[in-house]
């Protein structure tokens, strides 16, 4: 009899237990973010643990999870890239198939563009036109960044990656042919008036990043391929004639450089090839000495802070724990570091 009474008591306890509310509010809501830079943390594929961090350069403080704190929803599955257009940030969330638009001053939700398959990058072409590349489609979406609608699709025959507007042309890298046909060793030139491919330049396998220097030359970095099929190479391209004026091959077939960026003066290039390297736009060969040695770190993305004049680099560590962002002076001395989210994949400045 007593045992049965005990049983009833246990059930009573369990019923109360189940009534207890979850306490999952870990991070309080934010006010304004101030000036500094965003760090877009990709998170792990299919785990939907991407996030957005912001480093305030006045307070020298990193705030993590700014998107969730403000909007109370997760950022999504693989936040691939972010671009700022005026007072708005456009966050391309690859495996969620959407672009979130936020107000950059507090990361609050301003809208979203849905209906993509595997979006990778956004590029603002005109006030009412932007291009969105897609890993799984042989073309580029045309979207209205104000109405937040997909307006059209440019058939390019292959998937595109990063895009850049130069001289009223859009340059698009063809980085992958995993899902789509066509060689992944080209730079396509898109006419933004007629929304069509105007030209194409053959480079090396997997062109992954590009920047424009102060003289108007386009620099493109190619990794050489997923399985190191070719030697990696850095190209300098004349954006008027579309001629490749310089090609610098990396020495080792296992070299797999990425993350080409340039300082605010447009004179010094930086990239990651396990270590961080730099060269000036006048150099005729690739640097042999590293700007910063990686050591135990696993560098993944790089940017140049135009105000603080610092090189900002992310370390993804082992890809499954929270990453780190490190700030280096222009002589390679470490100045500061901060913990960020999982796989910090892009650094975006907001001044």
Residue of 32, 59, 61, 73 interacting with another protein (CB under 8 A)? 73
Q: Does 174 bind another protein (CB under 8 A)?
A: no
Stretch in the footprint of another protein (CB under 8 A) among 42-50, 84-92, 190-198, 245-253: 42-50
Give the three-class secondary structure for 234. strand
Pairing of strands 149-155, 139-144: antiparallel
Report whether 293 contacts 313 (CB < 8 A): no
Decide whether 121 or 236 has the Cβ nearer to another protein. 121
Stretch in the footprint of another protein (CB under 8 A) among 133-141, 162-170, 241-249, 284-292: 133-141
Q: Does 342 bind another protein (CB under 8 A)?
A: yes
Q: Does 145 bind another protein (CB under 8 A)?
A: no
Task: Give residues 5-34 in contact with another protein (rule: CB under 8 A).
Answer: 5, 7-12, 14-19, 22-24, 26-27
> How many other C-beta atoms lie within 10 A of the C-beta of residue 241?
8
Q: Does 302 bind another protein (CB under 8 A)?
A: no
> How many other C-beta atoms lie within 10 A of the C-beta of residue 125?
21
- CA end-to-end distance (rounded Å), the chain: 74
Q: Does 293 bind another protein (CB under 8 A)?
A: no
**305 contact partners, CB below 8 Å, separation of at least 6:** 37, 57, 311, 312, 327, 349
Q: Does 51 bind another protein (CB under 8 A)?
A: yes
As a whole number of angstroms, the distance between CA 269 and CA 280 comes to 6
Closest CA relative to residue 338, chosen from 38, 27, 16: 38
Task: Give residues 74-103 in contact with another protein (rule: CB under 8 A).
Answer: 74, 76-77, 93, 95-98, 100
Stretch in the footprint of another protein (CB under 8 A) among 39-47, 232-240, 261-269, 326-334: 39-47
Q: Does 250 bind another protein (CB under 8 A)?
A: no
Q: Does 296 bind another protein (CB under 8 A)?
A: yes
# residues contacting another protein (CB under 8 A): 71
Decide whether 3 or 282 has the Cβ nearer to another protein. 3
Q: Kindly state the smallest distance separating residue 262's Cβ from another protein, in Å.
A: 24
Q: Does 136 bind another protein (CB under 8 A)?
A: yes
Decide whether 71 or 246 has the Cβ nearer to another protein. 71
Decide whether 14 or 60 has the Cβ nearer to another protein. 14
As a whole number of angstroms, the distance between CA 104 and CA 205 comes to 35
Radius of gyration of the chain (CA): 23
Q: Kindly state the smallest distance separating residue 267's Cβ from another protein, in Å.
A: 29
As a whole number of angstroms, the distance between CA 210 and CA 247 comes to 14
Query: Given its phi and psi angles, is residue 286 left (phi above 0), alpha (psi -120 to 50 degrees) or beta?
Result: beta
Decide whether 154 or 237 has the Cβ nearer to another protein. 154
**183 contact partners, CB below 8 Å, separation of at least 6:** 158, 174, 177, 202
């Amino acid at each position: 009899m007593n045992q049965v009474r005990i049983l009833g008591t246990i059930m009573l306890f369990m019923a109360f237990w189940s009534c207890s509310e979850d306490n999952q509010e870990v991070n309080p809501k934010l006010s304004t973010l101030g000036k500094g830079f965003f760090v877009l943390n990709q998170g792990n594929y299919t785990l939907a643990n991407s996030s957005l961090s912001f480093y305030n350069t006045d307070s020298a403080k990193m705030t993590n999870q700014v998107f969730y704190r403000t909007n109370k929803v997760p950022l999504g599955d693989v936040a691939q890239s972010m671009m700022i257009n005026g007072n708005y940030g456009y966050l391309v969330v690859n495996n969620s198939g959407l672009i979130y638009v936020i107000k950059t001053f507090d990361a609050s939700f301003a809208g979203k563009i849905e209906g993509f398959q595997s979006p990778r990058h956004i590029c603002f072409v005109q006030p009412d036109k932007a291009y969105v590349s897609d890993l799984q489609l042989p073309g580029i979406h045309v979207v209205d960044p104000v109405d937040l609608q997909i307006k059209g699709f440019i058939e390019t025959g292959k998937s595109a990656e990063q895009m850049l507007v130069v001289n009223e042309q859009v340059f698009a890298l063809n980085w992958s042919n995993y899902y789509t046909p066509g060689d992944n060793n080209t730079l396509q030139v898109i006419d933004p008036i007629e929304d069509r491919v105007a030209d194409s330049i053959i480079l090396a396998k997997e062109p992954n990043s590009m920047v424009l220097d102060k003289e108007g030359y386009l620099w493109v970095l190619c990794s050489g391929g997923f399985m190191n099929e070719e030697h990696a190479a850095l190209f300098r391209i004349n954006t008027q004639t579309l001629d490749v004026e310089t090609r610098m091959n990396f020495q080792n077939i296992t070299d797999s450089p990425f993350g080409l960026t340039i300082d605010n003066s447009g004179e010094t290039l930086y990239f990651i090839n396990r270590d961080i390297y730099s060269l000036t736009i006048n150099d005729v060969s690739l640097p042999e000495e590293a700007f910063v040695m990686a050591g135990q770190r696993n560098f993944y993305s790089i940017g140049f802070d135009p105000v603080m004049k610092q090189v900002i680099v992310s370390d993804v560590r082992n890809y499954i724990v929270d990453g780190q962002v490190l700030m280096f002076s222009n002589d390679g001395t470490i100045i500061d570091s901060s913990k960020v989210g999982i796989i910090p994949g892009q650094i975006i400045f907001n001044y």
